[in-house]
Structure 1
Amino acid sequence: MLENLYKQIVMDHYKNPRNKGKLDAEGSIQFPYKNPTCGDVMVLYMTVDENRNIKDVKFEGEGCSISMASCSMMTDLVKGKSIEEAERLIGVFTDMIKNGELPEDEDELGDALALSGVHKLRARHNCSLLGWNGLDRAIKQHTH
């Protein structure tokens, strides 16, 4: 039952991605990222304000339903959050995918919790982490 609901959430994000498109705002960060294991690609666009909050974030990309849905979920989750909070959420999501650890507060990951079953599918780990890894690298390269 829960698995069906999770599949519906993933497919909804895949078919109706949130925050998809370019961000042309002045001073915005543009960060291309490619999954070397399957060829999925995305470009992350992000603006960070003077208080180190992610003011806006969008993505463009091509890939499987898991990678594109995960990018949509990630942008939805981190928009408006501080860089520090985004980094913490990257860690929580990565632990869930790689180690099967569900967050203590299950609401914390929002719709991204629907990808918890990917933990059992080792070959799909990089798909679900595409956007998150791209965000992590973009933050490290542009804000530290």
Structure 2
Amino acid sequence: MLDDLYRQIVMDHAKYKRNYGKLEGQKGVHTILYKNPTCGDVMVLYIQLGENGIEDLSFEGEGCSISMASCSMMTELLKINTVKECREKREAFERLIRDGELKDDVDLGDAASLQGVHRLRARHNCALMPWQALDKWLEEQEIGNH
């Protein structure tokens, strides 16, 4: 029954993508292009920084239901988060996908519904695609702060 609920959440995000589209009319939007090397899914992540971290983010892209749902979930989850909070959620999500572990102290919101992807090794990169795009941005932040 829980698997059915999770499947419904994933399909809802895949069909009705949240935060889909380019961030327009805002200054200083970071644009990160990412292509999943294993299947060809592609996305562009748009990040608008504010004083305390991510103020707004959105995406455009094409891919399977898992990758598009993951993009939608991640953009919802990371809005109005500090860079530190983004890192914590990113690490918790990777552990969820790679090891099947859901940490109690990190709220992953709807993204927790992708826990079943853990059993589908070939789909790990689909679920991780937007998070790997986020990694590229986080690396840029580290370089800029040194």
User: What TM-score range do you get, normalising by the shorter chain?
Assistant: over 0.9
Which residue in the other structure is 1:3 paired with? 3
Question: 1: distance between equivalents of 2:103 and 2:111?
Answer: 11
**Residue pairs, 1:86-105, within 5 angstroms:** 86-105=86-105
**Residue pairs, 1:1-144, within 5 angstroms:** 1-24=1-24, 25-51=26-52, 53-105=53-105, 108-142=107-141, 144=145
Query: Which amino acid in the other structure matches residue 19 of structure 1?
Result: N
C-alpha deviation, 1:34, in angstroms: 0.5
> Runs of 5+ in structure 2 lacking a partner?
none
How many residue pairs are counted as aligned between the two chains?
A: 142
> Runs of 5+ in structure 1 lacking a partner?
none
Question: 1: distance between equivalents of 2:28 and 2:43?
Answer: 19
C-alpha deviation, 1:93, in angstroms: 0.2
Aligned residues of 1:20 and 1:72 also touching (Cα < 8 A): yes
Structure 1 segments of 4 or more deviating over 4 A?
Answer: none
TM-score by length of 1: 0.95
Query: Which amino acid in the other structure matches residue 112 of structure 1?
Result: A
Query: Which amino acid in the other structure matches residue 44 of structure 1?
Result: L
TM-score by length of 2: 0.93
C-alpha deviation, 1:140, in angstroms: 1.4
Question: 2: distance between equivalents of 1:20 and 1:139?
Answer: 21
C-alpha deviation, 1:105, in angstroms: 4.0
Q: Percent identity?
A: 56
Query: Which amino acid in the other structure matches residue 118 of structure 1?
Result: V
Kindly report the root-mean-square deviation, in angstroms, between the aligned alpha carbons of the 2 structures. 1.2
- Say which SS state the counterpart of residue 127 (structure 2) adopts: helix
